[in-house]
């Protein structure tokens, strides 16, 4: 054993061997890790020779050299999948981001006047036109938008909100916590399942700064429930001269019903036309753009928000801003088909079935696989449209040796990783979120996985 341990190649030797082919930093790291692994295995009696050492080092080097963030094939069918990076962007948007990233831009420079300009000005006119709002502002994400609105309008003052809407969005974003950090005082009213206008009215006092409503983005309640309608909140706000704020969550800019999706998901325009003073939403949920927090509403309130020094700490960066401008431009030109999120959500059953059939055909020659196309019902909204269930088509596979758990694990660790749904002993590839160009990659990956 001792002599075998001594034969493990020195790091410097390994570096010499691979120095031409790979950057030294990776070679050293890989050599250390593999040597350590071999040493341990030899001591434990699990290894009797050094066969495959250099191959293992090279494999390790290659894996260390890959960036950590990878493109993933999303076969879960969940369009707004926070774990998988939410909204994929349109080609036009990506090209534009790349163009702006590639050089200098007029980000904060007014070319006409030759002096300092505002980064928000580039997108404000789109947002105002698309939502019908007087004014708008954008920050890094919607959590930041909520914080900024509360801090600007209600620091040291009370914000009335329904107990049923003190929600957790995920990743430790909880409305009561964000409110505390913003300096606003939470005044919760109503009960978990029922809140009435009179509950809000009863809590109004000298120190009330804001009437707030939060969209229940990731769950829904059924049964003996009642919530305050936006229009009733607006009426109450007007009666007492207190601003109203709705955190709409999803950042929807269209009416989903016009696209054949019958769900009551509020969009910015509807909220503004009901008279809500401020509405906020995400850029990368149903809006289908880059991550951003969009705030639209009354000019005097937005002006205050813009002037809050914290706005600078939540500032949107130029790549996001250019991506957002191009996304909004697509809406402006009504090019909804070019917005992947909208396209995926509104795919018709026929197109989904055709895609599934194509994948089925591609996979049929892979040995050991049992393949079928199944019609399924799935929730494509992730944390955005909790009630929405749509029919979809999946390719279901089963392997004669590997469990679906094991197959799913291998697919996750493949290059590119593929994330599927598991149901009982089947692995489902939901066609809603799989792009046409991914189909061949799925075939190639499965072929490789199953040949070893």
Ligand X SMILES: *Cc1c(COP(=O)(O)O)cnc(C)c1O
Interface pattern 269-298 for ligand X (x via CB under 6 A) = -------------x----------x-----
Eight-state DSSP code of residue 417: -
Helical spans, DSSP H, in 204-267: 230-240
Is 199 an interacting residue with respect to ligand X (CB under 6 A)? no
Cα dihedral sign, 243-247-250-255: negative
Q: How far apart are CA 368 and CA 354, in angstroms?
A: 24
Exposure string (b/e) for 74-98, b if CB count within 10 Å is 16 or more? bbbbbbbbbebebbbbbebbeebbe
Q: Which is nearer to ligand X, 141 or 347 (CB)?
A: 141
Going residue by residue from 5 to 44, which x/- string records binding to ligand X, judged by CB under 6 A?
Answer: ----------------------------------------
Q: Are strands 244-249 and 278-282 parallel, antiparallel or unpaired?
A: parallel
Contact between 316 and ligand X (CB under 6 A)? no
**Span 394-423, contacts to ligand X by CB under 6 A:** none
Rule CB under 6 A: say whether 244 interacts with ligand X.
no
Binding footprint of ligand X, residue count (CB under 6 A):
13
Closest approach of ligand X to the CB of residue 278, in Å? 13
Residue nearest to ligand X (CB): 249
Q: Is residue 52 classed as helix, strand or coil in its secondary structure?
A: coil
Tell whether residue 215 is a contact of ligand X (CB under 6 A). Answer: yes
Say whether residue 217 binds ligand X (CB under 6 A).
Answer: yes
| By the rule CB under 6 A, 143 interacts with ligand X | yes
Residue of 169, 233, 330, 394 that binds ligand X (CB under 6 A): 169
Minimum gap (Å) between residue 249 Cβ and ligand X? 3
**Residues of span 245-264 touching ligand X by CB under 6 A:** 247, 249
DSSP track, 372-402: EEEEEEE-TTTTS-TT--EEEEEEEEEESSS
**Residue 269 or 355 having the CB closest to ligand X:** 269
Spatial separation of the C-alpha atoms in residues 273 and 132, rounded to whole Å: 7
CB 128 within 8 A of CB 138: no
Instruction: Give the SS3 label for residue 227.
Output: coil
Residues near 297 by Cβ (< 8 Å), separated by ≥ 6?
A: 133, 134, 135, 136, 272, 276, 277, 278, 279
Distance CA 51, CA 28 (A): 19
**Per rule CB under 6 A, is residue 182 in the interface with ligand X?**
no
Pick the binder of ligand X from 76, 81, 141, 182 (CB under 6 A).
141
Is 214 an interacting residue with respect to ligand X (CB under 6 A)?
Answer: yes
Nearer to ligand X, 9 or 386 (CB): 386
Spatial separation of the C-alpha atoms in residues 221 and 163, rounded to whole Å: 13
Q: By C-beta, is 233 or 434 nearer to ligand X? A: 233
**Alpha carbon distance 390, 345 (integer Å):** 9
Judged by CB under 6 A, does residue 142 bind ligand X? Answer: yes
- As measured in angstroms, the least distance from the Cβ of 79 to ligand X is 14
Question: Where along the sequence are the contacts to ligand X (CB under 6 A)?
Answer: 141-143, 146, 169, 173, 214-215, 217, 247, 249, 282, 293
């Amino acid at each position: 054993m001792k002599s075998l341990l001594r034969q493990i190649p020195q790091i410097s030797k390994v570096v010499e061997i691979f120095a031409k082919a790979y950057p030294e930093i990776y070679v050293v790291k890989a050599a250390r890790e593999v040597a350590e692994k071999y040493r341990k295995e030899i001591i434990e009696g699990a290894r009797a020779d050094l066969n495959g050492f250099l191959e293992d080092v090279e494999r390790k080097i290659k894996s260390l050299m890959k960036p950590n963030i990878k493109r993933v094939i999303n076969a879960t069918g969940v369009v707004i999948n926070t774990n998988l990076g939410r909204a994929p962007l349109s080609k036009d948007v990506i090209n534009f981001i790349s163009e702006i990233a590639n050089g200098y831009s007029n980000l904060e420079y007014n070319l006409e006047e030759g002096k300092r300009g505002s980064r928000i000005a580039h997108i404000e006119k789109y947002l105002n036109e698309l939502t019908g709002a007087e004014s708008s502002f954008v920050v890094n994400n919607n959590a930041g938008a909520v914080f900024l609105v509360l801090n600007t309008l209600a620091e040291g003052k009370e914000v009335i909100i329904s107990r049923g809407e003190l929600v957790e969005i995920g990743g430790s974003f909880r409305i009561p916590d964000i409110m505390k950090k913003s300096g606003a005082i939470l005044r919760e009213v109503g009960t978990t399942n029922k809140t009435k206008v009179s509950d809000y009215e009863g809590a109004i006092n000298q120190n009330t700064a804001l009437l707030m409503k939060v969209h229940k983005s990731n769950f829904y309640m059924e049964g003996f429930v009642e919530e305050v309608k936006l229009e009733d909140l607006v009426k109450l706000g007007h009666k007492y001269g207190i601003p109203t704020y709705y955190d709409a969550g999803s950042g929807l800019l269209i009416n989903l019903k016009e696209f054949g999706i019958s769900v009551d998901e509020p969009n910015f325009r509807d909220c503004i036309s009901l008279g809500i003073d401020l509405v906020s939403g995400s850029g990368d949920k149903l809006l289908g753009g880059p991550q951003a927090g969009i705030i639209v509403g009354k000019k005097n309130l937005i002006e205050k928000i813009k002037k809050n020094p914290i706005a600078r700490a939540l500032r949107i960066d130029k790549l996001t801003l250019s991506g957002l401008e191009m996304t909004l431009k697509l809406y402006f030109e009504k090019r909804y088909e070019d917005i992947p999120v909208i396209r995926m959500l509104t795919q018709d059953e026929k197109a989904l079935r055709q895609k599934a059939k194509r994948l089925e055909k591609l996979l049929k020659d892979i040995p050991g696989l049992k393949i079928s196309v199944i019609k399924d019902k799935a929730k494509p909204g992730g944390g955005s449209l909790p009630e929405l269930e749509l029919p979809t088509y999946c390719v279901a596979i089963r392997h004669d040796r590997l469990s679906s758990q094991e197959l799913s694990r291998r697919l996750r660790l493949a290059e590119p990783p593929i994330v599927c749904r598991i149901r009982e002993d089947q692995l489902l590839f939901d066609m809603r979120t799989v792009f046409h160009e991914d189909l061949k990659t799925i075939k190639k990956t499965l072929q490789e996985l199953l040949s070893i």
